[in-house]
Amino acid sequence: MKQRSHYRALIALMLVPGLGNQRSKMLIQKSGANSAEEIFEMKPSQLMKVDGIGDQVIKNLLAFKNWHEADRILERTEKCNASLLSIDDDAYPELLKHIYDPPVLLWYKGDRDVFRTNGVAVVGTRNPGKYGLKQTERWGAALVNYGLTINSGLAYGVDTKAHQTALKSGGKTIAILGSGIDVIYPSKNTSLVKEIIELGGAVASEYPPGTAPDAVNFPGRNRIVSGMSHGILVVESGIKGGSMITARYALDQNREVFVVPHPLNHVRGEGCNYLIRTGQGKLVQSIDHILEEISVETIDSPSSDMGKKPQQWTLLELTDSEKKLCSIFNDEPIHIDKISELVGEPVYKLHSVMLELEMKGAIKQRAGKYFELC
């Protein structure tokens, strides 16, 4: 555990005008200082040797006198029973260290060890439909069953459901806030935050205690959610919104972007289908599609139902005709002509239904017009 004086100096770095996360990281890693305190004792000639630190920032650093504000923030941190995690701490998320502008400090409550676990971000709209909520539960439970931590942003809708599903499934979850660690937003999730902490997860923020949940904070929150994860799963999203911003951050950070497909003309899922269509996201139909891409060690999951093909389509919202079609499948692929014979419908009438089932993740097509359940 780092000393209090170290965190005090890091907070002070955050208060230096023009410094910011990226330059602070460079100073910590490349200045040769043994501690953050030493940075404030360095001479201009020493600071100028660090690439990317301009003359004005050096002047601001040398002129810094606002230690009383650093002390105030530290006192408020202690008063709200939060802890600090710095970029040079052993428990700091390894993946997060390597993004363009990792937070130099994280305020957190909960188990610090959870930050070093393998995680996948689950994100989506604040106003999901039944399909989106069901998919969040389905995928969240499967990820937890394979020993993965679920990371998200505590927002209404998909984020909240992802955190709840992780806990319900006996797993760990990390919630990243766009406000101070003592300002839970939305406030209705206060009890969820308490449960996350009590069950071995964590809640964290890069913003000092007391910071309000201003809109400008949330894109920064999103970059942390994606940056600390091996990949992100976009469950349900419109063309615009926070989950699409998170997807863009993930791509910039060289993270995998996985996408749950949605029925055509489903407004809440237009963003998901857009990511797939433009090649920015990978369509996923089974948990294996995620596990194969992130290449991390997972636990065996006999309790996961996602690998059992006869059951997957029963979790989806299907019409009666779609359910009838799915029910004819067993464990073997079936040719389209045979499907036509079994359901008593001509092939040309089946095309639209088969396409819709593919989009919903119920079936997939193999070469030669063979189909099978996902």
Beta strand 370-373 pairing with 363-366: antiparallel
Residues of the chain with CATH 3.40.50.450: 112-294
Beta strand 231-236 pairing with 256-259: parallel
- From 169, 176, 173, select the one nearest 200 (Cα to Cα): 173
Residues of the chain with CATH 1.10.10.10: 309-373
pLDDT at 304: 47
> Which one is the CATH code of 4-79: 1.10.10, 2.60.40, 1.10.8, 1.10.150?
1.10.150
Classified by CATH at the fold level, domain 112-294 comes out as Rossmann fold (3.40.50)
Q: What is the pLDDT along the chain (374 residues), one digit of tens a residue?
A: 468 889 999 999 999 999 988 888 888 888 888 888 889 998 888 888 888 888 999 999 999 999 999 999 999 999 999 999 999 999 999 999 999 999 999 999 999 999 999 999 999 999 999 999 999 999 999 999 999 999 999 999 999 999 999 999 999 999 999 999 999 999 999 999 999 999 999 999 999 999 999 999 999 999 999 999 999 999 999 999 899 999 999 999 999 999 999 988 788 899 999 999 999 999 999 999 999 899 787 776 544 444 443 457 877 888 888 888 888 888 778 888 788 888 888 888 888 888 888 888 888 888 777 888 88
Amino acid at 291: L
pLDDT at 361: 83
pLDDT at 102: 95
What separation in angstroms does the CA of 340 have from each of 309, 327, 328, 359?
21, 13, 11, 20
> Which one is the CATH code of 309-373: 3.40.366.10, 3.60.20.10, 1.10.10.10, 1.10.3210.50?
1.10.10.10
pLDDT at 267: 85
Question: Would you call 360 helix, strand, or coil by DSSP?
Answer: helix
Residues of the chain with CATH 1.10.150: 4-79
pLDDT at 2: 65
Does an H or E element contain 150, and which? Answer: strand 149-152
Q: Which residues pair with 107 in a beta bridge?
A: 84, 205
pLDDT at 169: 96
The rounded distance, in Å, linking the Cα atoms of 203 and 345 is 53
pLDDT at 49: 85
pLDDT at 310: 41
Tokens of 366: 């193999």
